[in-house]
Amino acid sequence: MKLTEYDISNPYEATVVSNERITSADTDEVRHIVLGISDATFHHVEGQSIGVLVPGPHQFGNEDHMRLYSIASSRLGEDQNMSEISLCVRRCFYVDEISGERYPGVASNYLCDATAGDVISIAGPYGRQFMAPRDDTCNILMIGVGTGIAPFRAFLKHIYEERKAWKGQVRLFYGARTGMDMLYMNDEKNDLTLYYDEDTFKAFEALSPRPHFDEPAQIERTLKDNAKDVWDLIQDPKTYVYVSGLARLEDTLDNALIEIAGSEEAWTTAKETMTSQRRWNTLFYD
């Protein structure tokens, strides 16, 4: 679905409660931003996104610039405050293909520069296809890179803090360039390490072999290193798979799972089965 097709006609006002950097100064800037929404009609579930509306004027005369961000809080709100939600935002830049000049990303820099008390407009929430299963005996396999961790933070808070005991197996495969880029699992902010003591939860980290050369995290290697566990889960009819991150993750993941499955045919069959049963769910962004 194109961004221009989202309904933004009834926006909400959100107040920045806090804006905290969660990566060290010597790596990419990623911020955890908490927004307060006083309108009681706003409610969301895990896996949904909001549209952040950056006021214009913008290029081509557009009044608003809209960018989607996954909500990193559970349905009960940030720290179980239903009037607050959080976002995980990386400060982005892009290079003009013609001039070669480097420009700041509109929405990410707008959010990263926001300070407590600022009021921003948001729309949504959008999307209901990326939701955790209701049955607590189901298995959850999560695969993500970068800020794709946001919906998984919401999932884990929901199943372990709000639904308490989760009986199914929960696996998180997460990739980043360096240890300090492991969002919500580093020295700056370590929310997800709270779940390491849960009997059903295991996390597997994938780091770049050469982070100073901007090589991507080798998430496929970590998956292959745990091939039996991954394939056993995929073949289990009670397993739901969620993939979140940059669009280029899709091909990387497919190639890794073809190898794990033993053939392209085996993986295609498994993926088609999960898709038809709504157990294969993806959330990709550029």
pLDDT exceeds cutoff 90 at 185:
no
**Which of 34-38, 242-246, 268-272, 273-277 bottoms out in mean pLDDT, i.e. has the lowest?**
242-246
Instruction: State mean pLDDT over 264-270.
Output: 96
More confident residue, 130 or 100: 130
Counting residues of the chain whose pLDDT is more than 90, the rounded percentage is: 57
pLDDT, tens only, 56-98: 766 655 667 889 999 999 999 999 999 999 999 999 887 777 7
The residues near 165 (Cβ < 8 Å, ≥ 6 apart) are: 136
More confident residue, 192 or 47: 47
What is the per-residue DSSP string for 124-186?
EEE--SS---S-TTSEEEEEEEGGGGHHHHHHHIIIIIIS----S-EEEEEEESSGGGSTTSS
Instruction: State mean pLDDT over 257-282.
Output: 96
According to the model, what pLDDT value does residue 177 have? 61
pLDDT exceeds cutoff 90 at 105:
no
Q: 181 exposed, middle or buried (CB, 10 Å; 0-12, 13-18, 19+)?
A: buried
pLDDT, tens only, 201-217: 998 887 654 444 343 45
What does DSSP say about strands 139-145 and 239-246: parallel, antiparallel, or unpaired? parallel
List phi, psi (to 5°) of 29: -85, 120
pLDDT, tens only, 133-172: 989 999 999 998 888 889 999 999 999 988 888 999 999 9
**Which of 42-46, 123-127, 210-214 bottoms out in mean pLDDT, i.e. has the lowest?**
210-214
